[in-house]
Amino acid sequence: MADGGVSDHVEILERWSRGLQMLHVAHNIASERFNRWNRVTGITTAMLSAVVGTTIFSSLSDSGLTSLRVAAGVASLLTAALSAGQLVWDYPELASRHRAAAVRYATLRRQVELRLANRDQVTGTDVDVTSSEWEEIEQSAPQLPIGVRRHARREIAGVPPRA
């Protein structure tokens, strides 16, 4: 193969390596974010349940406090909504799927870096294999929120996180 062909293949793999790095970092961020949301909604639901139970018990013993009963009703509805949301959002599953995607992107990225270590031996087959493996990962990877992609780009660029 002509030298220009090898050079083109190396350039493609270098560009893809940067893209794989971004996807690896972004899926790690998404996994951490969904794990955090799972904890936040779980703790909030547990706290609201405790408040509802305590408030209902208090309102039964002192039935004249209408505002207390209204607060208990609102807290009860919010608790039910958060509980339903936990089921619908399924944060643990999302976190797990993003973590699996991050691992697969990291593996592919390392393979690309190994191919690039032997720059003079990079061929069109290396590009084709990388493309096929990337496509396979993308088919099973969950979609990344736009904000997570931006966060990953900032992290890779070394920009400190926003306060």
Query: Residues 11-29: what's their mean pLDDT?
Result: 97
| Domain ranges across the chain | 3-157
The set of residues, in sequence order, having a beta carbon less than 8 Å from that of 146 and lying 6+ positions away, is: none
Q: What is the pLDDT of residue 82?
A: 78
Stated as kind and residue range, the H or E segment containing 85 is helix 66-89
Residue 56 pLDDT more than 80?
A: no
Closest CA to 10 of 105, 111, 123, 109: 123
Where does residue 121 rank: exposed (0-12), middle (13-18), buried (19+ CB within 10 A)? exposed
Computed over every residue of the chain, the mean pLDDT equals: 87
Q: What is the pLDDT of residue 75?
A: 78
The set of residues, in sequence order, having a beta carbon less than 8 Å from that of 102 and lying 6+ positions away, is: 23, 24, 25, 27, 28, 31
**This prediction's pTM:** 0.77
- Band (pLDDT 50/70/90 cuts) for residue 116 is very high
CA separation for the pair 127, 132 (Å, rounded)? 9
The set of residues, in sequence order, having a beta carbon less than 8 Å from that of 59 and lying 6+ positions away, is: 65, 68, 69, 72
Cα distances from 58 to residues 54, 64, 75, 160, in angstroms, run 6, 11, 14, 48
Judge whether 119 and 159 are in contact, CB under 8 Å: no
Q: What is the pLDDT of residue 1?
A: 38
Residue 117 pLDDT more than 80?
A: yes
Residue 155 pLDDT more than 90?
A: yes
Residue 96 pLDDT more than 50?
A: yes
Q: What is the pLDDT of residue 88?
A: 67
Percent of the chain at pLDDT above 70?
88
Structure tokens at 118: 């032997």
Q: Residue 82, SS3?
A: helix
